[in-house]
Structure 1
Amino acid sequence: MTTQTAHRTGLATLLLGTAVLYLWGLGSSGWANSFYAAAVQAGSESWKAFFFGSSDAASSITVDKTPLSLWPMVLSVKAFGLSSWSILVPQALEGVAAVALLHASVRRTTGSAAAGLLAGAVLALTPVAVLMFRFDNPDAMLVLLLVGSAYATQRAVEATSVRWLALGGALVGLAFLTKMLQAFLVLPALALVYLLFAALPWRRRVLHLLVAFGSMVLAGGWWLAIVELWPAASRPYIGGSQDNSILELTLGYNGFGRLTGDETGSVGGGGGWGSTGLLRMFDSEIGGQVAWLLPAALFLGVAALWFARGRGPVTAGATLWLGWLVVTGLTFSLMAGIFHAYYTVALAPAVAALVAIGAHTLWQRRDALPVSGVLAFTTAFTTSLSFVLLDRAGDWHPWLKYVVATLGFAAALMLAGVRHLPRRVGHVVAATAIVAGLAGPTAYSLATAATPHTGSIPTAGPTGSTGTGGTRGPGGAAGGLLNGSTPGATLTAMLTSDASGWTWVAAAVGSNSAAGYQLASQEPVMAIGGFNGSDPSPTLAQFQTYVADGQIHYFIASGDGMGGPGGGMGGGPSAGGGTSSEIATWVAASFEAQTVDGVTVYDLSSGVV
């Protein structure tokens, strides 16, 4: 078998294995995050809802993100019908594409097919990557686009090509349309690499970067400009904002508020999102998601910079991915606002690339004592960290940490003296070190793929959350802040009966409560107050007008206990406060309550009591 054939076989095996890991049993997660699944369903019914990212086909309010990540899922639903598979398969394919792009990037950096395959494998087997590429959050598309931007920037440096650099900028702009300001965390690394390593006069480099900046603004700004200029009366309310402004959402709730914790409309913030600090990525909540090889990525990345001095592609590649890792990692570690463990999927490509680039670069120089020492130390440290992370899983396969420790420490000892070993033995030792390093995250990844995940805050690993919220009643669940409702058959039949006569077949406080009813009935359900129930949309006066005009059939009480008169199941409608609470109070005082499938429902067509 030729070297080229072996590489093609390895790449095909990597991508096929990744596809199997990301697709196997995918339907077991149902709607996954029903908040986004409902918006996908809405977009498949209405091009207006598609464009704005509306929560319902009647476009009462949008999700609290820009909508690009929804569009592939919507097109899939249009082509294949609404199902868990049609929503989630595009996400899995985005993961396979990200692995392929990272492989290509690292192969170009090192000139080694093996290094490219190692990078792809590390990304594919990072637990939080397995989680998010099997889920319908925006993070899957975000990672794909940002890996693409890094690849394009690398090509721009190699060819001193403004076209490649403009493509990199455009991909960051599209990433902005996926998850807003988080996309910009990679910009310092991309700009620095081109400034330092492009073989052009300084002024030309700056000019090219300005072109790339313009490309980014065009790719990411056209949608914002249209939404900002569109008359507010004829578009949905901008979910997540407090004044119906996409700019406020961009710069506030999804922007600087995430850093400072000053997030109007948030349900937490500050200390409510875990302790900040330099070790945040290793704590009990986040460590098992992404931390397995994070120190190794830093050690090997810095060592690659040191030992590869004068080698342009390796130095440029290590600089790019170290910049990505350091800026993103520090931001996640120190941000005081909304932070969830699954955000760390944005670190996975940088970790994977640095491990592969560093391992390859040092392996080529393993006959030098300092290099073999770094390899041995990195292997020992990674083994120790894996032991700690596996030990946190309690009685979940307790033998695994001892296997990892045995293999890892044995490989570390052998690597310290690898320059004295025969070539073939050295390769066996290197393979053993890789197996020891990947055993923990692989086990967590397999457990993640085998576990259904639903709700708004999923986590990877054997103790991964399957979602919270929603008090379950007989035959159904009203849903809550973090989990979608699951209506029973009787309530679903009520919603679908004579549905064409109503703009919204129902209204409920909070997007997750509304989402389950909408997905079950495939009819528009108004999400009062948006995700948290705290957005001032609609106002009480607007809601009363909708009811008077015969546009809303039912009001369904929430079951999340967020407050409001008689909050919870079987009482009055609960609400997130503000206008939501006003609407809930008015409904409870004006209409007769009934219990259907364990859920409190108000028929708004029956007239005021």
Structure 2
Amino acid sequence: MSTMLEPISEIKSKIIQKPLGKIRWSWQSLPLGAILLLSSFLGIWNLSINGYSNNYYAAAVKSMIQSWSNFFFVSFDPGGFVTVDKPPVAFWVQAIFAKVLGFSGFSILLPEALAGVGSVFLLYIMVKRSFGTATGLVSALMLAITPIFVVMSRHNNPDSILVFTLMLAAWAMFRAADKGSFRCLLLAGALVGVAFNVKMLEAYVVLPAFYAMYFLLARTTWLKRIIHLAIVSVVIAVISLSWAVAVDLTPTNQRPYVDSSSVNSEIDLILNYNGLGRISGNEMGGSNSINPVNNNADGQAQGAPTFDSITLPPLPAGVDITPPTGFSPNGQAGGAPGGAGFGGQAGATRLITPQNGAEFNWFFPLAMLGIAYGGIYSFFGMGKGEERSRRLRSILLWGGWLLTFGVVFSFSKGVFHNYYLNIMAPAEAALAGIATVMLWKQYRKGGWMAYLLPLGIGATAFYQAYLLTDYTDWNWWLSPALVAVGVISLLGLVLGKVMKSERFGNIFQLIVMWVSMACLIVTPAVLSIRAVFTSITGSLPSATPSGVQVLPGLSTSSSSGAIPQAWLTFVGKNLSGQLILLAIVVGALLVVFGLRNLLRQQRWFNRPVISGVLLVMLLLGSTGWWINAAQAQTTTNTSAFSGQGMPFGGGAPGQGQANSVLVQYLVANQGDYKYLVAVADSNSASSYIIETGKPVMSLGGFSGSDNIVTSATQLEQMIANHTVRYFLLGGNGGRGGNTQVTQYVQQKCTVVSSSQYSGSGSNTSQSSGGGISFDGIKIMGGSEQLYVCGS
């Protein structure tokens, strides 16, 4: 019997004990897990508060899951009348999630959130390979708390999936250069092609960095580098254009109209509206034009503006609808528009101003030091070898990524939105993390370059204080605090180097460094945590703050004597305040006890213990912040967290709720007509598609300016063929492409009395539509009128 049991025990040992014995827990597992948990919380927790986020894209996803044709062509409406204004990959992913999990706001936002967590992990892997574990952890944490990165991970615009796809491509490209692997290079090229089908030419902005890294530093011969890059360029082009060519080769009567293109072509959309037009300023889709009339010197309107040959009523005194510089509705280039939801004037300083810098640029001075010091030290200060090559590849990759996007976004003359800056967040986080760890090591070594660390920390604190100057409800207390942190860090780190006692000096340096870095991550972390408890809706999301009070009952007008009392009340009556206080006490005790043992030269106070202390403080302290943010959300509306005068998320067209009684009326009277109703633009149609799942015709596409229906004869034929019967047009005459269409509806069709689809107790608000829009934003409009055509 024993001889029979022995083989069994051996088998058990091989199957169970040995595999389990291979599991290894290293010191970095704990902080990495905490960072990924934090990123998951920021991206996924309370996600349903955002509803459908951007109704325009949500309506497209609902349409796409109804048929394979809609899915392939990315049809905006269930009837396949017009596409969305972007390529398909991100919406394919959202549609798959919606099909599996059921269509809901959560299901279409979940893939974006997961892409955000994946990007944080990929950044850690890539930076760790070149600069070590500590650098990878710092970079991953900085990316996880970047405000616009968190906001876009909670939004259904395709940007989060774009970042994740390009991160995968960067990983493959880095591996290709690291090993001289042509297969990895082909994988990188294929992923760039996929990224192109997420957001078109924006994916190509990273190619100079990719190509430079491989050409200069790949582990293969110069000839092979040239041949490899030539082949991968073909792969990128083929994969990038495959879907667009397939769409354009499909007969136009068998597919939807390509939104925002002037000639019903995806290639045209790539080159103009979504491509080079964004740089030159000539990106407006369709062919409608606006000829505004400025007010005279006395503020009186000089005449009536015209819109696509329609004369509008004269403007009242003081009203000027001149398009902001850069809108270029007539194809004229200009500087980028300023104001709500836009990126300010084009120029070298565009991305460092508070309007844009507060979105992503919280570690800008450190990132610049990462490029300069990291590159110079790696090239001149290290001996030749693979470690040096890896570091140079990493600096070239992330530095090229940051600088090329920075140049393109800074000088683009077309429409530029703040949330575009999400694509720059990984590169900034990588470079800032590289600078932090490298400068700390140089600081401990000594020499004149040791003083680069206090200069970098101090400059970053001062810059963060500057970023808050546009946000008055924050900067009254936080900006002075950051200035104080900058001064203390600068002086403290300098003082730490001149102390005579080496033991006490090392301890003092460590404390100053930890406290300084903790203070630098507070502001972006709080902005990111607040996003979890704030509804993010609309097509122009933003992460910039305004109007947020950290202490209940305390305002910017409160006297300085009220601050201590507010803190005492906060701690005494709020669980979040008690948890924060507990975190401070526990952390202080652990640090004091650890320093005591360190002074006794005991070895237990090592990196795992430091990580444990930081994790305890993070969990307790951040839990307090989360609860406080949730409590504040119950007493503040969504506009309490706004940027540049717009609701958090940037406001948006197309977020109005459909008139429920009107929907019932249209459904009851649709009959055998294919479309429930025709409206001026896609933003007006979104809520009706989401609510009913029925085809709703967008006559003018996203911006309302597409010439999809080009003549009254074509419209008359659609009515006769029972394609569409009802038209919901704006009070200013509507848009919907050709003016002959609008005139035909107004002259030949019958106005439906609003009494038939409105009533007390019902929701009579209507989605935005009609009027004059730039890039989908209505700047002048009126009430909508329902018409019925045909018998």
TM-score by length of 2: 0.70
The answer for the alignment partner of 2:746 in structure 1 is: 588
Q: What is the CA-CA distance between 1:328 and the residue it aligns to?
A: 0.3
Determine whether 1:358 maps to 2:421.
Answer: no
| Partner amino acid, structure 1, of 2:352 | F
Within 1, Cα distance between the matches of 2:88 and 2:170? Answer: 22
The answer for the alignment partner of 1:335 in structure 2 is: 412
Q: What is the CA-CA distance between 1:342 and the residue it aligns to?
A: 0.5
| Partner amino acid, structure 2, of 1:549 | N
Determine whether 1:574 maps to 2:738.
Answer: no
Within 2, Cα distance between the matches of 1:427 and 1:59? Answer: 62
The answer for the alignment partner of 2:469 in structure 1 is: 391
Within 2, Cα distance between the matches of 1:76 and 1:500? Answer: 33
| Partner amino acid, structure 1, of 2:282 | D
- C-alpha offsets along residues 144-180 of structure 1, whole Å, 9 cap, x if unaligned? 1111111111111111111111111111111100000
Within 2, Cα distance between the matches of 1:416 and 1:53? Answer: 58
Q: How do 1:69-468 residues align onto structure 2 when only pairs under 5 Å count?
A: 69-110=90-131, 112-265=132-285, 268-269=327-328, 270-271=334-335, 273=337, 274-309=344-379, 310=382, 311-366=388-443, 367-396=445-474, 398-416=476-494, 418-419=496-497, 422-463=505-546, 465=642
| Partner amino acid, structure 2, of 1:340 | H
Within 2, Cα distance between the matches of 1:468 and 1:604? Answer: 39
Q: 1:35 aligns with which of 35, 42, 56?
A: 56
Within 1, Cα distance between the matches of 2:138 and 2:25? Answer: 16
Q: Residues 135 and 160 of structure 1: is their aligned pair in 2 closer, same or farther, counting only changes over 3 Å?
A: same
Within 2, Cα distance between the matches of 1:295 and 1:521? Answer: 51
Q: Residues 408 and 284 of structure 1: is their aligned pair in 2 closer, same or farther, counting only changes over 3 Å?
A: closer
Q: What is the CA-CA distance between 1:454 and the residue it aligns to?
A: 1.6
The answer for the alignment partner of 1:503 in structure 2 is: 674
| 2:678–2:697 CA contact under 8 A, matched in 1 | yes
Q: Which range moved further: 237-246 or 362-371?
A: 362-371
Within 2, Cα distance between the matches of 1:10 and 1:131? Answer: 23
Q: How do 1:438-587 residues align onto structure 2 when only pairs under 5 Å count?
A: 438-463=521-546, 465=642, 482-497=653-668, 501-540=672-711, 541-558=713-730, 566-567=731-732, 573-575=733-735, 578-579=737-738, 581-587=739-745
Within 2, Cα distance between the matches of 1:495 and 1:429? Answer: 67
Within 2, Cα distance between the matches of 1:46 and 1:603? Answer: 29
Within 1, Cα distance between the matches of 2:81 and 2:496? Answer: 65
Within 2, Cα distance between the matches of 1:531 and 1:256? Answer: 19
Q: What is the CA-CA distance between 1:468 and the residue it aligns to?
A: 10
Q: What is the CA-CA distance between 1:43 and the residue it aligns to?
A: 0.6
Within 2, Cα distance between the matches of 1:243 and 1:187? Answer: 29
- SS of the aligned residue for 1:497 comes to helix
Q: Structure 1: 5+ residue runs without aligned partners?
A: 471-479, 559-565, 568-572
| 2:681–2:704 CA contact under 8 A, matched in 1 | yes
- C-alpha offsets along residues 532-559 of structure 1, whole Å, 9 cap, x if unaligned? 111111223333322221122421224x
| 1:297–1:354 CA contact under 8 A, matched in 2 | yes
Between structure 1 and structure 2, the one with the greater Rg is 2
Q: Residues 469 and 230 of structure 1: is their aligned pair in 2 closer, same or farther, counting only changes over 3 Å?
A: farther
Q: What is the CA-CA distance between 1:335 and the residue it aligns to?
A: 0.3
- C-alpha offsets along residues 91-115 of structure 1, whole Å, 9 cap, x if unaligned? 11111111111111111111x2221
The answer for the alignment partner of 1:59 in structure 2 is: 80
Q: What is the CA-CA distance between 1:492 and the residue it aligns to?
A: 2.3
| Partner amino acid, structure 1, of 2:174 | Q
| 1:447–1:462 CA contact under 8 A, matched in 2 | no
- SS of the aligned residue for 1:45 comes to coil
Q: What is the CA-CA distance between 1:126 and the residue it aligns to?
A: 0.9
Q: Residues 59 and 321 of structure 1: is their aligned pair in 2 closer, same or farther, counting only changes over 3 Å?
A: same
- SS of the aligned residue for 1:62 comes to coil
| 1:22–1:130 CA contact under 8 A, matched in 2 | yes
Within 2, Cα distance between the matches of 1:526 and 1:418? Answer: 69
| Partner amino acid, structure 2, of 1:143 | V
Within 2, Cα distance between the matches of 1:26 and 1:459? Answer: 16
Determine whether 1:68 maps to 2:138.
Answer: no
Q: Which range moved further: 224-233 or 429-438?
A: 429-438
- SS of the aligned residue for 2:59 comes to helix
Residues paired across the two proteins, number: 582
Within 2, Cα distance between the matches of 1:445 and 1:499? Answer: 46
Within 1, Cα distance between the matches of 2:85 and 2:266? Answer: 9
Q: What is the CA-CA distance between 1:294 and the residue it aligns to?
A: 2.2
TM-score by length of 1: 0.90
Q: Residues 502 and 80 of structure 1: is their aligned pair in 2 closer, same or farther, counting only changes over 3 Å?
A: farther
Within 1, Cα distance between the matches of 2:176 and 2:484? Answer: 44
Within 1, Cα distance between the matches of 2:658 and 2:178? Answer: 56
Q: Which range moved further: 590-599 or 319-328?
A: 590-599
Q: What is the CA-CA distance between 1:418 and the residue it aligns to?
A: 4.8
| 1:116–1:356 CA contact under 8 A, matched in 2 | yes
Q: What is the CA-CA distance between 1:584 and the residue it aligns to?
A: 2.4
- SS of the aligned residue for 1:285 comes to helix
Within 2, Cα distance between the matches of 1:81 and 1:460? Answer: 29
Within 2, Cα distance between the matches of 1:208 and 1:460? Answer: 41
| Partner amino acid, structure 2, of 1:349 | P
| 1:404–1:439 CA contact under 8 A, matched in 2 | no
The answer for the alignment partner of 1:25 in structure 2 is: 46
Within 2, Cα distance between the matches of 1:369 and 1:506? Answer: 74
The answer for the alignment partner of 2:602 in structure 1 is: none
Within 1, Cα distance between the matches of 2:144 and 2:654? Answer: 27
| 2:675–2:697 CA contact under 8 A, matched in 1 | yes
Q: What is the CA-CA distance between 1:431 and the residue it aligns to?
A: 2.0
Q: Structure 2: 5+ residue runs without aligned partners?
A: 1-22, 287-322, 329-333, 338-343, 383-387, 547-640, 759-763, 767-783
